[in-house]
Amino acid sequence: MSALTRRATEADLDRVMELERAVFSVDSWPESLMRAELTDEHGYYLVAVDQDAEIPHPRGEGTAERPRAAGAAQTLLPRGEGTTGPDCTPGEKSALLPRGEGTTPDCPALLGYAGLRAPRGGSQADVQTIAVAPEVRGWGLGRGLMHALIAETGRRSIPELFLEVRADNAVALALYRSLGFVEISVRRRYYNDGGAAIVMRLQVPATRMQLAGSDRPGETRS
């Protein structure tokens, strides 16, 4: 697999929402909220796409986990800024299909996405969301996306990064702890199904702050 990580744009909305609903179900955001997040001036959203194997295939009508689950292992670190991937037409309903099954070369499969709210000049940033397609969990995409959000927080000279994670999501909790996040509180009945959320905080490493502005995010492959 050749994974490409790039800045998300509003043109990615339909595919992001498809994965959002598949992963988070009753806790999924409405499309209007996701659109606002993708276009917010204080936001920083990334998508991870696969140009080699799985391609969204348009289907007919009706085709169809805050933060959330992630994988572990390989790292994707964006460099450069403002780049965009292939031009995928907004508005199509799509599904992930193996290579050769109705693929279209201009629309790479969405493997995952992640979002950050980090006002420049502020004292804290928040991981708004992170999702990885079930088929590619354990490949390191979640860890890579988190590294990218942490790096961007440092580039914006923000000293603290916060997130919420389901108390019963052992895999995500282990990932965030391995990245240096610590638990600071619990929010009872935070999710729509009554589940609790653990609030976690990362003191952004001094090295990240020192490197702020020295490299810019954009496209990377792995």
Choose, from 113, 176, 190, 191, the residue flagged as catalytic. 176
164 is catalytic: yes
| CA dist., res. 164 & res. 181, Å (int) | 11
DSSP 197: E
CA 8: distance to chain centroid?
Answer: 9
190 is catalytic: no
CA-based angle 68:36:173, to the nearest 5?
10
Contact 141, 48 (CB under 8 A): yes
What is the three-class DSSP state of 131? strand
Crossing angle, helix 13-24 and helix 31-39, to 10 degrees?
130
Choose, from 44, 164, 190, 191, the residue flagged as catalytic. 164
Q: Which residues are catalytic?
A: 164, 176
